[in-house]
Amino acid sequence: MDLGLFIAASGMVAEQARQDQLANDLANGSTPGYKADESSQHSFGQILLSNTASGAPVGAITIGVESGKSYTDLAAAPMHETGEPLDFAIEGEGFFAVKTTQGVRYTRDGQFAVSAGGLLTDSFGNDVLSPTGAPIKVNSDGTVDPTAIGVSKVGGAVKQGENLFTGTPEGQASATVRSGSLEESGVNLVETMVEMMASLRSFQSGQQAIQAINETLQAAATQVGSVTVS
Amino acid sequence: MLDGLYAAAAGMNAQQLQLDNVANNLANISTTGYHAQRTAFTDLLYNQINEAGTDTTDGAGAAARDIGDVEVEGSLQRTEAPLDLAIEGQGFFELQRANGSTVLTRDGSFQLDSKRQIVSADGSVLQPPITLPAGVSAEQVKIASNGAVTAEGRTLGTIAVVDVPAPNALLAAGNGQFTVTQASGAATPVAGASVIQGALEGSNVDMGSEMATMIDTQRSYQMGSSAVKIEGEMMSIANQLRA
């Protein structure tokens, strides 16, 4: 069959994946410490066309596009003041470490609380860890010294939901923790919206291409060899 | 493709919850001792898509939850009423409701009931119970900053100020009252709390920041709805593919 059909369809599939990511980014426009996803699109390998009669090479053609590996944009987002004693933001690179039932996880969301036992926890009740990996006690006046909170360097951070990341710890990062502030979501809403529209139109172009090829094929199937008397 | 549709819808739901919260906070802008409620957003689970050797992740949107109060104290308002009390610093008054259950509150607008006991506006008895002897009027009552109640030189009792380890985990019970939960920990007396007679703690809702949050929420909701529309349009484009 016509190769073009499949090239156009692969482009549509890639745009679909992109659109899903963009929708998720947009939904997390208010999530503190959220990091936006990016995905690359790249072409499948090329194939060489040759003249069927003479065997002479015609040139190369790429056979479509695919979504590549997605990566998370870990750049620090702006902070905003909340005035809450147990809101913390990391100035610079690194993650807060929290102890979950599945092991240590990392987060940039510093919206912390105090447990019944007087320990600093994240909003799901997981203990926040100090630089030495111990739980942190909240002072009787309801505050915590920001320097008591550990900031870990994490390699290969991957999102797992509930604002948590998994990854390999690589020691303490040299970042400053600020109390009374939260890191905003890393999503640029306007940019995301524009990308969604661009992606939509690319998707539509793919559909148009399929339509056009379909019409050519239809002509080939029904008109070639027909005799019309004019 | 449907993943994105649901992710956008989940985000809209989360914004809706925040808007509800803002509305509730604004409605309580004049409620004595009210503390504004906070909403926290989180992302949801991620899917690894491995179609045709690709390695794309897509998320399921966002969720919002209530995470307790804004900690800032409301500003004190002088009323000069003898049984209006405010707590400076952390802590709660303890009340016993008519059904026997114990609740905590920061609303210190007290009055006398028919038995001359100090009770809250809804008739719950301030703990430990303090009864004014006959012939002593409310105007003669002096309440010291440590909670000691005296009238005409006679000590009538001491009002307890209690606190829990995790105030954000208290369960709201209406009327500005809270019940202790397992997550909040038990209520214990606070050392060094100061009770102020003749004043009430105003609501700590900050009108400016609530309005800003409301506008932000509305815009985010609108963007979510645009995302749903775009995903819908993509489906309709795909549906128009036919031989």
* Alpha-carbon gap: A227 to the closest alpha carbon of chain B (Å): 24
Q: Give the chain A residue whose CA is nearest to the CA of B73.
A: A84
Strand partners for A60: A48
CB contact under 8 A, B59 and A161: yes
* Alpha-carbon gap: B153 to the closest alpha carbon of chain A (Å): 34
Average pLDDT over residues B78-99: 91
* pLDDT exceeds 60 at position A1: no
* pLDDT exceeds 90 at position A140: no
Q: Backbone phi, then psi, for A141, in 5-degree steps?
A: -90, 10
The answer to whether the complex's ipTM is over 0.90 is no
* pLDDT exceeds 80 at position B81: yes
Cis bond before residue A135 (omega within 30° of 0): no
Q: Give the chain A residue whose CA is nearest to the CA of B3.
A: A20
Within a 10 A sphere around the Cβ of B179, how many other Cβ atoms?
14
pLDDT at B68: 81
Average pLDDT over residues B157-177: 89
CB contact under 8 A, A123 and B67: yes
CB contact under 8 A, A23 and B52: no
pLDDT at A41: 74
Q: How far apart are CA B96 and CA B108, in angstroms?
A: 14
Tell me the three-class secondary structure of B187-229, residue by residue. CEECCCCEEEECEEECCCCCHHHHHHHHHHHHHHHHHHHHHHH
Q: How many CB pairs under 8 A join A and B?
A: 193
Q: What is the mean pLDDT of chain B?
A: 89
* Alpha-carbon gap: B14 to the closest alpha carbon of chain A (Å): 8
| Confidence band for B74, pLDDT divided at 50, 70 and 90 | confident
* pLDDT exceeds 60 at position A184: yes
Average pLDDT over residues B89-118: 92
pLDDT in tens, A113-136: 999 888 999 988 899 999 999 999
| Confidence band for B53, pLDDT divided at 50, 70 and 90 | low
CB contact under 8 A, A27 and B12: yes
What's at B55, amino acid-wise?
D
Q: Give the chain A residue whose CA is nearest to the CA of B167.
A: A114
A230 vs B11, which has greater pLDDT? B11
- Mutation target to probe the A interface, by most A beta carbons within 10 A, among B50, B58, B218 is B58
* pLDDT exceeds 60 at position B1: no
Average pLDDT over residues B205-232: 93
Q: How far apart are CA B153 and CA B28, in angstroms?
A: 39
pLDDT at B96: 93
Q: A108 with A95: CB under 8 angstroms?
A: yes
* Alpha-carbon gap: A125 to the closest alpha carbon of chain B (Å): 9
Tokens for A174?
A: 């040299």
A71 vs B31, which has greater pLDDT? B31
Residues from chain B contacting residue A156 (CB–CB below 8 Å): none
Instruction: Indicate the helix (H) or strand (E) that contains B16.
Output: helix B2-27
Q: Give the chain B residue whose CA is nearest to the CA of A216.
A: B243
Q: What is the pTM of this model?
A: 0.83
pLDDT in tens, B108-141: 999 999 999 999 999 999 988 999 888 888 888 9
Q: How far apart are CA A218 and CA A224, in angstroms?
A: 10
CB contact under 8 A, B226 and A193: yes
* pLDDT exceeds 60 at position B71: yes
* pLDDT exceeds 90 at position A97: yes
* Alpha-carbon gap: B56 to the closest alpha carbon of chain A (Å): 5
Tokens 């991620």 — which residue?
Answer: B46
A166: contact with B, CB 8 A cutoff = no
Q: How far apart are CA B127 and CA A200, in angstroms?
A: 64
pLDDT at B50: 66
* pLDDT exceeds 80 at position B49: no
Contacts 24+ apart (CB under 8 A), A213-217: A213/A2, A213/A4, A213/A5, A213/A8, A214/A5, A214/B243, A216/A2, A217/A1, A217/A2
- Mutation target to probe the A interface, by most A beta carbons within 10 A, among B13, B56, B73, B223 is B56
CB contact under 8 A, A204 and B237: yes
- Who among B1, B183, B217 is closest to A16 (CB)? B1
